[in-house]
Chains A and B, each alone.
Chain A
């Protein structure tokens, strides 16, 4: 049986792992290569680097981080943030990433998904989607870190992503992100039911049982969290032990 995946995410700026409670409060919390290695030891099934660097120089630093990580961490690596073109995808995969995650860029330019999938294969194109409820069982897609409402229906968008060749959807709920009250299960369920590709739950994990709840209540394939793991409130292995004790198959 395919195991459910637990994925820690590292936010990286200028080659350092950072964590901000909000945009003003960003602080550096460590070296991304070391953090990734530590997560690997804890049993992470995959590691996501989310590049929040704005500058061009910073992109090169991010690729160095991926290159160094790929020499000592032998689980799949995903890089998201700032990937705008097929060349960006190529550079990132060549540095040692197994997948890229495209988000705002894909909403503004959906052909990026198709081009990426055609050239490199669907398996390496993950589409990150930020969404927010606008009514009962109705959500719209946001971009630029949740600041701009694209007035695009979430379900229509994820179906379009799948049709364009996305290999996976990483679904982040703006409503639950940072609230730490658990994943947005109604939104997650609606997306999982709408597509056949794997869906990663993101945004809202605040306690141990939130991960198992996502797997028990929906057919999502993976669950992702950042700060919970950063601040060592939980380890990946604790999350897996909890899932295992509830009959969920994990590695």
Chain B
């Protein structure tokens, strides 16, 4: 069972719809026992970093998430990916889950339309099991105004929007993050979710 962590953030039904469509058992949950029992975890999210981190703290799930992420496949999506880092500067400096080294800050380029919204091409940096079956001409759907700043070894793929925008990140272990929405990225996104669901702990 894949636990989709429900802490009051958006887009959880889209993630559930995609997993249902792919035929993977899943459960929307805000309970620690479900997270402990699950084979894999997905942390979705749309909105602002400080608000989401606060909701996670209020849910009492932060410690459970951090310890379980060491033993089983874990995927953060969009804001859920940003929460994996040590901190963010969205509105105010705010601590994250610190599962991957790095921080989150505004995409700043005076010439760019912000948010970075739409389909952008995946450019591969390091091999990653989430890319099984993908070609080198795959587009995925992004909607965000902040991006991750991280070490090269943690960057699996990026897209180009002014500069490099981290698209798929990892801690090198079980933790992965997608800045884009795989559940809204057509066949490419479904394949990435399927690859994630097939990961074994």
Contacts and interface: CB of A to CB of B under 8 A. Distances in A.
Interface of A: 1-3, 5, 40, 45, 70-72, 74-76, 93-94, 96, 98, 120-124, 167-168, 196-198, 221-222, 251
Contacts of A196: 113-114
A227 B141 CA distance: 26
Contact of A122 (B11, B115, B121): B115
Nearest to A43: B186
Given A45-B118, A76-B141, A198-B113, 10 more contacts: A1-B160, A2-B116, A3-B139, A74-B14, A74-B18, A74-B183, A123-B46, A123-B143, A124-B46, A196-B113
A122 B14 CA distance: 19
Contacts of B144: 123
B186 A75 contact: yes
B13 A70 contact: yes
Contacts of B114: 196-197
Nearest to A44: B186
A123 B117 contact: yes
Nearest to A69: B17
Interface in B50-68: none
A1 B121 contact: yes
B141 A75 contact: yes
A187 B68 CA distance: 54
A96 B13 contact: yes
B120 A1 contact: yes
Contact of B115 (A45, A120, A123): A123
A3 B120 contact: yes
B21 interface: yes
B119 interface: yes
Interface residues of B, number: 34
A3 B184 contact: no
Give the dominant DSSP class at A's interface: loop
Nearest to B142: A2
Interface of B: 10-11, 13-14, 17-18, 20-21, 46-48, 113-121, 139, 141, 143-144, 159-161, 183-187, 189-190
A221 to B, nearest CB: 6
Contacts of B141: 75-76
A5 B17 contact: no
Contact of A71 (B20, B48, B139, B185): B20
A3 B187 CA distance: 16
B184 A75 contact: yes
B118 A5 contact: yes
B21 A71 contact: yes
B73 to A, nearest CB: 21
B186 A40 contact: yes
A161 to B, nearest CB: 15
Given A1-B160, A196-B114, A197-B113, A74 B119 contact: no
Contact of A121 (B46, B139, B161, B187): B46
B184 A74 contact: yes
A63 to B, nearest CB: 12
Contact of A45 (B21, B113, B119, B187): B119
A251 B143 contact: no
Given A71-B20, A75-B141, A76-B184, A3 B119 contact: yes
Given A74-B21, A121-B47, A221-B113, A3 B186 contact: no
11 contacts: A1-B121, A3-B119, A3-B120, A40-B186, A74-B14, A74-B183, A74-B189, A75-B141, A123-B144, A196-B114, A197-B113
A96 B14 contact: yes
B190 A74 contact: yes
